[in-house]
Structure formats: C-alpha cells, structure tokens
Amino acid sequence: MPGKVFLVGAGPGDPSLLTLKGQAALERADCVIYDFLAARELLRHCRPEAEKIFAGKRGGTPRRLQEEINRLLISKAQAGLVVARLKGGDPFVFGRGGEEAEALAQAGIAFEIIPGVTSGVAAPAYAGIPLTHRELASSVCFIAGQEDPSKPGSLVNWQDVAGSSGTLVFFMGTRNLAAIASTLIERGRAPATPVAVIRWGTRPEQQVILGTLTDIGDRARNLQPPTVIVVGEVVRLGERLRWFERLPLFGRRIVVTRAREQAAGLREPLEARGAAVIEIPAIEFRPPASWTPLDDAICRIGEFNFLLVTSVNGVKNFTARLEALGRDARDLKGLTIGAIGPATAAEFAKHGVRVDFVPREYRADGLVEALAGHKLRGRCVLIPRAKLARDLVPKALEKRGARVEVVVAYETVRASFAAGEIEALLDPPADVFTFTSSSTASHFIRLLVGRKLDGLLGKSTIASIGPVTSATLRTLGFPPAVEAAESTIPGLVAALEKHFAPSES
C-alpha cells in the first residue's frame, strides 16, 4: 500500500489545543516525526507500536537539517507507512511546512495539511491580548523576526510595517528583539508603543514581559526562546484581561502517580487550573493469574445477597467477565450492590447497573458502616477486588455472621521505567506529588528510593486523597501536607486549590 504524510499543526504548546483532525492523524500514524515545539504530551495519542522520531529542531542547538527531514518523510512514506509530521503551531505559518509539502509533491508522495492553532494568535490570547480591537487595531501583521541569513536581502518592508497602525506579531525574534524595536522606531513607530514578549505561550511555564519599544530590549534581555513578540496598543489590555496566569494552580508542576489508564481523571482538572502535569504512573493493572475463581463466582451469582466493589478497576473487570460469560446486568437482579465511591458507582452505571448504596466516607471503613442497618448473619457477600488489599471489610462482615467470598479481579504491580526516564521527568523538580491510593504511595516511594530520588519528596508538597492513603504515607516517612476533605478526585483538586490559594492577609 502506498504511504501518506500528514503535516499536522500541533498547536502552540497547550496539548488540548490540538485539533480533532490532528488527533485522528496521530492515532492512525505508523510513524510520528515531531519537533521540539510540539508538546510531548501529544504523543499519548499515538499507538504504542508507532515509531516516534524527534526531529530535533530547536533554535541555538544542533538540529536535523531540513533536507534530512524531507528525505526522512519521503523514505518512510515510500516504505508504505502513514506518517504524521507533528509541527509546532501551524505548518504553514513560519513552520516550513510549505518546503516539506513541496518536497513531498516533487517525490510523488500523497500528503494532507492539517492546520494548527498558531502561536501568533494563541500566545497573545493566553496573555489576555486581543490582536484586534474595534478602538485600537483593525489589522494584524505576522512577521519573521529572524530571516534566512543566506538570502540576499530582507523580505520585510520595514517602512510599511513600522507605519502601520495595526498590531505587529513577530515570530522567532527573541535574539533580535532590541534590533527589531530599534528599527521600528527608526522607521517611524512611536517609541512609547507598548510591547509584550510572551515566552512559552499557552503552557504553564508562560512568561510575559511588558514594556515599550524604548525599553523592551533591556526588560526582556535574559528571556530565552521560544517567544512571540506583540507590538501595538492592544498590549495595554493585557494587564486587565490576562486570565491564564490567574488560574489557581498556574505554573505548579504536579506529579500524578495514578495508573496510566486512570491518569486523565486527575490530569485534566489540574491542567484546566493551569498546572503543568507530570505523569509518572506508579502502578499498572494486570489480569489475575487465572479468571477461573471470578468466573466461577459469577456463574454462581444467584447464591449471593451482596456485591461490594471497592475500585473502578474492580467494576471494569467484573463486568467484562460477566459479559464474557454471556451474562449482563439482568443477572445481578436481587443483589444489594455497594460501591466505595461515586466514581465506582459511575463505572457500574456505564453498564446499566444502579448501585444500592455509596458510603458517606469513600473508603473501605465506610462500606462497613453503610451496612450497619442490614441483616448479614447467614447472608453471602461477593467482593471482587485487587489481589493484595486490606482485609478490613471481609473480617468486619464475617464478625457479623456473613459468609464472605473474596475473588481476585485484577493485580496491582509496580510500573517499570527505562533508565533515566524518571530523572528526566523530574528535571526541574516537581512542586507537588499526588497520591490517590495506598498502593500508588507505597510503589512510587519505593520507586524513588531505588533511584535515590526520594530526597525530592522532602522538598515538595505531598498531597493525599484521604485518610487511608495519608496513613500509608506517614508509615513510609512522608506525611502529606495536603489531604482531601472528601476522598475523591474533585476533593483532591479542591484541596490543592485551597493549599495554594493566596493568603487574604
């Protein structure tokens, strides 16, 4: 089959700004060739077996030559692969996408252009600067702040640019900032014209330096690429309209230690509040050594009076085996079903099962308390759960005369990482480490101890989802500074917001 290349705009940095069509291309691709400015988080959309190649295009450092990248795109496509070329911003706005498309066309390779959100629009928006405004600017000009030195002259008509009353947006102009400002003044732009230099726009690392054409060179002297430079009266609105940097967790580097398939539930609300999320899954979920005990219990489901599930993963595997055995929610009729918390109850609801109760406190002790008014003597209770879990619930129910059958629905094991992988993720160090269960806490801390990185925990804020996880952390020697009032993901996020809220004094 002939190959094909998708030139995909990765957007300006915030991974959630990738277009749906761009995401579909990544999910389909056999090979992904990505730039430095494309958020690494976008690679999570790729298939695990997809080849991922870093193009190494970063200003001021060794990089692949454009001709080499062109040859790589062509060779991969000629090998019959679907290639996603992931480029920061928009491929056709100072992204050299036109050159790559020309090379593909000349080689007879099929290709598509998938536009992306350009940093020239997005970075000012995240800095609260509207590029156009009815009273301030009715035009926008995008300008290269750095041109190909091999060209005989500049393609920028500086006289027209400086004389414009509209907004000027410069790309790749960090190192030429002072010269750009000086040239604009020389060609007639007012020295007091406001200027904003935005570094890493749309990302939690975003920095905004404000000034005028007269002093911006000095003010932003130490700022490193990548930046977008905005010149014009609209910059004055930034101080009043900036919203991104006012998000409650803006700029906080927060580690999420949940299993990879569960991480999004915590990552997304943290990112929505401005945090930079680092995923280091401490655990992995695996099927039990044998499904026989769980299958046998399901085949005898009519013998049980109660079904108690203490995790979302327990629900997933229980319902999967229910369906694998040709059964469905109707076979659970007559059972009193308890879920440890709202997330577990919601997972049941996905399969058409409504739980009978959720305890007030979302932990194992709460399940026992919720059953206080039920007659248990002589009744049969089924608990599908992880291989290694606390015996609090089974023992408490057995004391009340119940016959409890615990079956393994899944196993929790420590995740594995390549040499140096965690060290790279924690450089620079994190501000917060979050733990959503005792298993994530114990496995993660052993992981850090094994790499001699446990000292980082002592310098950071440790956040726990609830009392049981907090007790485990204290036992391990790392008491949490933050504990959720409600043992849920929203409760943990709210606790972090409260912890980092500015003091009213």
Measure Cα distances from 364 to 308, 312, 469 in Å. 10, 14, 12
For every residue of 85-126, DSSP letters joined together read EEESB-TTSSSSHHHHHHHHHHTT-EEEEE----HHHHHHHH
Closest CA to 467 of 365, 338, 339, 360: 365
8 A C-beta contact, residue 457 and residue 480: no
8 A C-beta contact, residue 297 and residue 407: yes
Overall size of the chain counted in residues: 505
8 A C-beta contact, residue 436 and residue 488: no
Measure Cα distances from 75 to 5, 104, 136, 442 in Å. 11, 10, 49, 47
Which residues touch 166 (CB under 8 Å, ≥6 apart)?
132, 137, 138, 139, 140, 141, 232
Which residues touch 93 (CB under 8 Å, ≥6 apart)?
118, 120, 142, 171
Question: What is the Cα Rg of the chain in Å?
Answer: 28
**Is residue 87 annotated as a catalytic residue, yes or no?**
no
- The C-alpha atoms of residue 210 and residue 416 are separated, in whole angstroms, by 45
Catalytic residue among 14, 30, 57, 90: 57
- The C-alpha atoms of residue 77 and residue 80 are separated, in whole angstroms, by 5
213: tokens are 């054409």
Catalytic residue among 4, 76, 90, 172: 172
Catalytic residue among 30, 35, 90, 431: 35
Q: Which residues of 84-117 are buried (b: 16+ CB within 10 A; e: fewer)?
A: bbbbbbbbbbbbbbeebbebbeebebebebbbbb
- The C-alpha atoms of residue 60 and residue 196 are separated, in whole angstroms, by 22
Which is it for strands 194-199 and 4-9: parallel, antiparallel or unpaired?
unpaired
For 164-167, which contacts have Cβ atoms below 8 Å and span 24 or more sequence positions?
Answer: 164/139, 165/137, 165/139, 166/132, 166/137, 166/138, 166/139, 166/140, 166/141, 166/232, 167/131, 167/132, 167/137, 167/139, 167/140, 167/141, 167/230, 167/231, 167/232, 167/234
**Is residue 1 annotated as a catalytic residue, yes or no?**
no
8 A C-beta contact, residue 233 and residue 136: yes
The three-state (H, E, C) secondary structure of 334-348, written as one string? CCEEEECCHHHHHHH
- The C-alpha atoms of residue 259 and residue 137 are separated, in whole angstroms, by 49
**Is residue 57 annotated as a catalytic residue, yes or no?**
yes
- The C-alpha atoms of residue 386 and residue 397 are separated, in whole angstroms, by 18
The SS3 assignment for 285 reads strand
Q: Which residues are catalytic?
A: 35, 57, 172
